[in-house]
């Protein structure tokens, strides 16, 4: 950032920090620090795509992603870089989860996420280490192979995500939200999902239009999809 600021970015009139997946998580964690690099008159906002990783109990009853994040936080020594407003009330590993930090972000933020995030399904909710040859073996890779009880479990995950998203949106009037009920991970990086004619949409509004309306203050954007299987505009990922 020092190099970019030194070659002209410091005089930008507008700046957007965005990222997808781990980059989306980074956008959440570093949004206010990014804002602090610019003069007060610069319009600065942040976009997190597929970065709303949740501390949710997996199919074996464990917090698998929490254990993984604990290793990351410890190995990289990131506790000192996490928001003090969070680390003052809970341990650093929990503060690595956006659900525990995103409401305190002062800079305008937009959350773009699939409610049935396929990365989280495959590596957090039903990781290979937890299922072996059990009933989740095929469901975790292809939602059409899930039975009713498995879909119910995934609906619980969606409900948790939408609750976090609602709280985030209510925390600051300048925040934006697009949570669709698709089985995918990352929707801002590919032209088809970002701005294609058949881009995923909620209430007939596509992703790029939604982010644009929020970024340019054309309208408030708070879009939360109905539960699966109602959305026919999804670009679902299955293997």
For CA atoms 238, 121, 61, 150, give the dihedral sign.
negative
Active site residue 67: no
Find out whether 233 and 181 touch, Cβ atoms under 8 Å: no
Active site residue 192: no
Q: How many CB atoms neighbour CB 138 within 10 A? A: 13
- How far, CA to CA in Å, does 231 sit from each of 108, 132, 203? 28, 31, 10
Active site residue 213: no
Structure tokens given for 113 = 């996420």
Q: How many CB atoms neighbour CB 207 within 10 A? A: 22
Catalytic residue among 49, 117, 201, 225: 117
Q: Which residue reads 């199919």 in tokens?
A: 59
Find out whether 31 and 19 touch, Cβ atoms under 8 Å: no
Phi, psi of 123 (to 5 degrees): -120, -10
Catalytic residue among 21, 30, 70, 213: 21
Catalytic residue among 27, 181, 185, 199: 185
Residue 113 three-state SS: strand
Distance CA 60, CA 134 (A): 11
Residue 125 three-state SS: helix
Q: Give how far the C-alpha of residue 178 lies from the chain's centroid of Cα atoms, to the nearest Å.
A: 10
- Residues annotated as catalytic are 21, 117, 185
């Amino acid at each position: 950032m020092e190099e970019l600021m030194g070659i002209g970015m410091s005089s930008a009139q507008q700046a957007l920090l965005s990222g997808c997946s781990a980059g989306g998580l980074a956008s959440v964690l570093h949004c206010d620090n990014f804002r602090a690099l610019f003069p007060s008159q610069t319009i600065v906002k942040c976009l997190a795509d597929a970065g709303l990783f949740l501390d949710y109990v997996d199919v074996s009853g464990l917090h698998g992603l929490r254990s993984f994040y604990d290793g990351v936080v410890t190995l990289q020594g990131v506790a000192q870089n996490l928001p003090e407003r969070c680390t003052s009330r809970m341990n650093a590993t929990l503060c690595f989860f956006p659900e525990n930090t995103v409401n305190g972000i002062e800079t305008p933020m937009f959350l773009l996420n699939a409610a049935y995030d396929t990365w989280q399904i495959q590596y957090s909710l039903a990781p290979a280490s937890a299922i072996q040859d059990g009933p989740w073996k095929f469901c975790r890779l292809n939602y059409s192979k899930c039975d009713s009880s498995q879909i119910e479990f995934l609906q619980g995950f969606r409900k948790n995500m939408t609750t976090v998203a609602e709280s985030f949106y209510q925390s600051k009037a300048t925040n934006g939200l697009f949570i669709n009920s698709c089985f995918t991970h990352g929707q801002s990086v590919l032209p088809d999902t970002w701005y294609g004619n058949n881009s995923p949409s909620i209430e007939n509004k596509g992703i790029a239009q939604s982010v644009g309306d929020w970024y340019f203050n054309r309208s408030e954007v708070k879009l939360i999809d109905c539960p699966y299987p109602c959305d026919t505009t999804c670009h679902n990922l299955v293997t």
